[in-house]
Chain A
Amino acid sequence: MKPPTFDYVRPASVAEAIDALAAHPDSKVLAGGQSLIPMMNMRLARPTALVDIGRLDELAGIEANGSLRVGATARQSTVLENEQVGRRWPLITAALVHVGHPATRARGTFGGSIAHGEPASELPAVMLACDARFLLRGGSGEREVAADDFFVGHYTTVLADDELLVQVEVPDPAGSAWGFGEIVRRHGDYALAGAAVRLAVDGDGTVEEARVALFGVSGRPIRATAAEEHLLGTRLGDERAAAEAGRAALSGTEVTDDSFVSATYRHDAAAAVVERALLEAALRRRGTN
């Protein structure tokens, strides 16, 4: 439970951080450290250097003018407690409650949870459901990547070695219905299956746009496109449509099948969480109207 030797760099700016990443091959960005440090202690991760961006205030901001812009190192607890986020992006707040525990959220960062690329964690899937865009900055400049294009596989994203996730931008979801659910053995654990859904509906309650994102079921967070197609044109809260969307959620997906949880179970669990998240979205909408 002691890490191997590594260098530690604490840059004074994002530019310096990018230089440091470029200068140290096989380095890792250290933000909240709630996943990385245990992995290093268990010697499952052996970076040669840590580039600590935890004190870069320029990355810690939260702005909510139109869209939501969260700096990569804003603490999860800070975002969770943000009143604007809670009111206008309640899906994010609802999901953050399930990200670890108060102690880990106090250190863990919003961007870190995304850039880490853990397929069973909540925020990456929420970003898919929210159609978020990520601002990346690296040696070759700045680029914007849609959440849909960001996650590659287990702990793997499109981030280049010398690239930093600097900001997450989430569009205003005004008027959309949302739901969230996960199956966990214990509160705060990684999900065996989880769903974040966001639905745009017209005045009659007909679904015009559906984003159904799943986590914990595959090698990366995924969009359940078959479920989304099922939902288009159905009425929000239609129980049969919700059940069908649940059943379709994992069609065409390579479902994780490991020592702890079989693919069969994940199929059943995903169907249940998707169906329930959809019905919850409808219930909540009725409650607020």
Chain B
Amino acid sequence: MTLESTATDPAATSAASSATTPQQPRPARYVGRPVQRVEDPRLLSGQGRYIDDVALPGMLHAAFVRSPHAHARIVGIDATEALAVEGVVAVYTGKDLDWLAPMVSAGPMREGVLAQSRSPLAVEVARHVGDPVAVVLARSPYLAEDGRDLVDVEWEPLTPVLDPFAALHPDSPLVDEALGTNNISHLEQSAGDVDTAFAEADHVTRIRFHSGRSTAAPIECRGVVAEYEDRAGGRFNVYSSTQMPHLLRMLIAPVLGVSQGQLSVKAPDVGGAFGLKCTVFPEDIVVPAVARMSGRPVKWIEDRWEDLAAGVHSKDMHCSMEIAATADGTMTAFRGHFVTDSGAYSSIPFTPLVDSQVAGVYLSSCYGVQNVAYSIDNPLTNKCQIGAVRGVGWVPGQLAREVAIDQLARSLGKDPVELRLQNMIGPEVYTTPFGQTYDGGSYAAALEKARDAVDYPAFRQRQAQARADGRYLGVGFSPFVEPTGWGTASAAAGGLPNGFFDTASVTVEPDGSVTVTTGLHSHGQGHETTLAQVTADELGVAMDSVRIVFGDTDSSVFGMGTYASRSAVLGFGSIQESAVQVRDRLVRLAAAMLEADDADIELVDGVAAVKGVPGKTVPLQQIALFGYFGGPARPEDVQRDGLTATSGYNPGETYANGCAAAVVEVDVRTGLVSIEQLAAVEDCGVVLNPIIVKGQVAGALANGIGVALLEDLAYEDNGEFVSGSLMHYLYPSTTEVPDLTLHSIETPSAVSVGGVKGVGEAGTISAPAAIVNAVMDALSPFGIVIEKTPMTPEYIRGLVRAAEAAATGPARS
């Protein structure tokens, strides 16, 4: 793997940057350096403590009884035989949990999205395979599963709703009768004059694309352990493998009928999440509820089948995409229709709009197209719910647009790279037709760098030679813009308007060590490293004196959690806001101790010195001790506030960008696609830590390979779910990910603290379209049009077979 970095001149990112950047000079001793991840020794040596490591005295184990049907009425549930098993303690059904408030997916605070209520355990109707209808508690997980197998549910199968377009038909059976419709949201938005642009276009390209159904499939599945303390009006302690402890608390407490003060959420080490664990699930409610009812702590550890059948699914979107263009290749309008096959429940809190809406609203991406329109539909179907998974709807949106642009290039006989460059926005701050304001980026430069990374002209020669030998090579490009640093402004710009901010609390302890608490959560991102780098720089202390505390609502300040590539931006900003205040107190304390001017104090690596006076120093340990116990000699605010400061941060809009380029070979006999090279250029602004950025980009690219070629959650025509194990749900392993070519460009954000942008989803957004375009380029002699992911060998072979048959006329028998 190669990593090469180029820093762009920040001045090149327009005059707006200097006006809006709240940056100040800051000695960057750690930020930007390839600091080794401090969490790795613990995690790699088996000292991680995950949800399954939580053990409470007297704990029972839960197993869920789940629907084997896509859609069925629950006629009756008989637990007699299960309860007869020695060691099975209790069985609860939905009716037993009628004291709970409903779970409500209210969705984003915008018009046009229906709220949906559900009970955590289905009471009358189960709506997808895996929908939980009862829970068995037993002395061991083995006995709980024995009991589960003996719970006798009498089902009356109902007609399942499986086709999202049929679901939109007025005569369709309803997934949720209470809603009166299957479509929880139809939205339309338009900017410019799209109809005129299409009417006047010299050329119109239209494609359909079905982005397949995939999910996160983290190595650690979900899990919940809960106990109920019958004191002071009742208290729940909930351990959960979640990405967002505070939001989970906020969203489950009302369902359980307690205040947020009566419920703690503790997230231990989380073994991968990728967005799946920023959803509120029925089990998050049921496990604490039955802990209260049984009077015993209860543990539930999800198994792989449950994770695949009943977690969240993602990206299952039917797209149609149109591009209007002039004869010279100027793209004048985009129009998209995005139908998310939403599953049976509107997921909490992000709803299926986290896919459909964001596919539409960011449609113009890095292109200067001014006439843009989209519409979305979100039909419920009898499948697993759609939720936020890495890359969300940006992935299908990117696929639809970038595949269509390649089609346009072929139609016009233009080079796909040149066509993109011709239509690309400049590097300066730019406002899209839908009102997103990009904070500067290297849109064209990233594409050019990706083109160079695959040695484009040489590749075209090689491709021609290979074709002469009957081998089919192809190249595809996929430049992208990734909305990051999810805060209030970016959420509003994305059409999902909610308040998003974060806080951090920074404390210098009496011995000079530093404790930071944050409501952000780390589940692989390496916050214990990056946020310590930021803190150490801001305070002027050594990084190993900084400890980052998160994951427990009892010990961390309120925060919104980690998803949507937000934590680098929010973490940096909120820590800086707090650390600046503490540093200011440290400087004044040191000045008092050293009898110097505040302005002459330098604080570096935990030692305060007086500028220009060698040897006149005081270590942080003494400053801190003085700060806590120095009596009236201390500044008044230090006497009152000590060395703690808590501040929040709500950034402006930040957008990372980059480009993926894929070189593939397609075996037309078998339909197998092998990726010869996958190159990615990433511009996430100021890089906090290149090791971690590289890891994020590489992981996301691997994820993108899965989306393009492998991952598929399949349902049979009767709604039976057939991808319930990792034998059938395939994700890439080391043997399917080629040696990656990684390049980096740094265009500092014009708006965020420190100039940072997020990086979590880039490769997942960009790689699938690059790979699809490469396959279509490889198969261009056949005139093949790819219309879906994943591109299975069977799918590709079928297209080739059809093309061959068409070329040779009716099949000879």
Chain A contacts to B: CB under 8 angstroms: 1-5, 42-43, 183, 185-190, 192, 259-262, 264-265, 268-269, 271-273
B793 & A187 in contact (Cβ 8 Å cutoff): no
Binds A, one of B141-149, B380-388, B539-547, B641-649: B141-149
Chain B residues near A185 (CB, 8 Å)? 710, 730, 792-793
A272 & B669 in contact (Cβ 8 Å cutoff): yes
A4 & B710 in contact (Cβ 8 Å cutoff): no
Task: Please give me the residue from chain A that is nearest to B715 by CB atom.
Answer: A259
Provide 15 A-B residue pairs closer than 8 Å at the C-beta atoms, listed in order of the A residue: A2-B141, A2-B144, A4-B142, A185-B793, A186-B732, A186-B736, A187-B736, A259-B716, A260-B728, A262-B794, A264-B798, A264-B801, A269-B670, A269-B797, A271-B669
Q: Could you say which interface size class chain B belongs to?
A: 20 to 34
- Within the complex, what minimum Cβ distance (angstroms) separates B161 from chain A? 20
The CA of A127 and the CA of B760, in the complex, are separated in Å by 48
A1 & B794 in contact (Cβ 8 Å cutoff): no
- Within the complex, what minimum Cβ distance (angstroms) separates A97 from chain B? 11
The CA of A271 and the CA of B672, in the complex, are separated in Å by 14
The CA of A271 and the CA of B797, in the complex, are separated in Å by 13
- Interface check B303, CB cutoff 8 A: yes
- Within the complex, what minimum Cβ distance (angstroms) separates B144 from chain A? 8
Chain B residues near A189 (CB, 8 Å)? 727, 730
A269 & B793 in contact (Cβ 8 Å cutoff): yes
Task: Please give me the residue from chain A that is nearest to B304 by CB atom.
Answer: A1
Chain A residues near B727 (CB, 8 Å)? 189-190
Given contacts A42-B725, A260-B722, A272-B670, 4 further A-B contacts (CB under 8 A): A185-B730, A186-B710, A259-B714, A272-B667
- Interface check B733, CB cutoff 8 A: yes
The CA of A265 and the CA of B801, in the complex, are separated in Å by 10
- Interface check B24, CB cutoff 8 A: no
- Within the complex, what minimum Cβ distance (angstroms) separates A270 from chain B? 10
Chain A residues near B667 (CB, 8 Å)? 272
- Within the complex, what minimum Cβ distance (angstroms) separates A272 from chain B? 4
Chain A residues near B728 (CB, 8 Å)? 260
Chain A residues near B733 (CB, 8 Å)? 186-188
Chain A residues near B303 (CB, 8 Å)? 1
- Interface check B305, CB cutoff 8 A: yes
The CA of A190 and the CA of B671, in the complex, are separated in Å by 17
Task: Please give me the residue from chain B that is nearest to A192 by CB atom.
Answer: B793
Q: Pick the contact of A2: B145, B710, B797 (CB < 8 A).
A: B145
- Within the complex, what minimum Cβ distance (angstroms) separates A227 from chain B? 16
- Interface check B45, CB cutoff 8 A: no
B142 & A265 in contact (Cβ 8 Å cutoff): no
The CA of A186 and the CA of B146, in the complex, are separated in Å by 34
Chain B residues near A190 (CB, 8 Å)? 727
The CA of A273 and the CA of B671, in the complex, are separated in Å by 12
The CA of A42 and the CA of B725, in the complex, are separated in Å by 9
A5 & B793 in contact (Cβ 8 Å cutoff): no
- Interface check B735, CB cutoff 8 A: yes
- Within the complex, what minimum Cβ distance (angstroms) separates B26 from chain A? 46
Task: Please give me the residue from chain B that is nearest to A259 by CB atom.
Answer: B722
The CA of A166 and the CA of B101, in the complex, are separated in Å by 61
Task: Please give me the residue from chain B that is nearest to A246 by CB atom.
Answer: B669
Chain B residues near A269 (CB, 8 Å)? 669-670, 793, 797
The CA of A265 and the CA of B671, in the complex, are separated in Å by 9
The CA of A271 and the CA of B667, in the complex, are separated in Å by 13
Chain A residues near B149 (CB, 8 Å)? 4, 43
Chain B residues near A265 (CB, 8 Å)? 671, 793-794, 797-798
B714 & A268 in contact (Cβ 8 Å cutoff): no
The CA of A189 and the CA of B730, in the complex, are separated in Å by 9
Task: Please give me the residue from chain B that is nearest to A1 by CB atom.
Answer: B303
- Within the complex, what minimum Cβ distance (angstroms) separates A249 from chain B? 13
Pick the 6 closest A-B CB pairs, nearest first: A187-B735, A1-B303, A272-B669, A265-B794, A2-B142, A2-B145
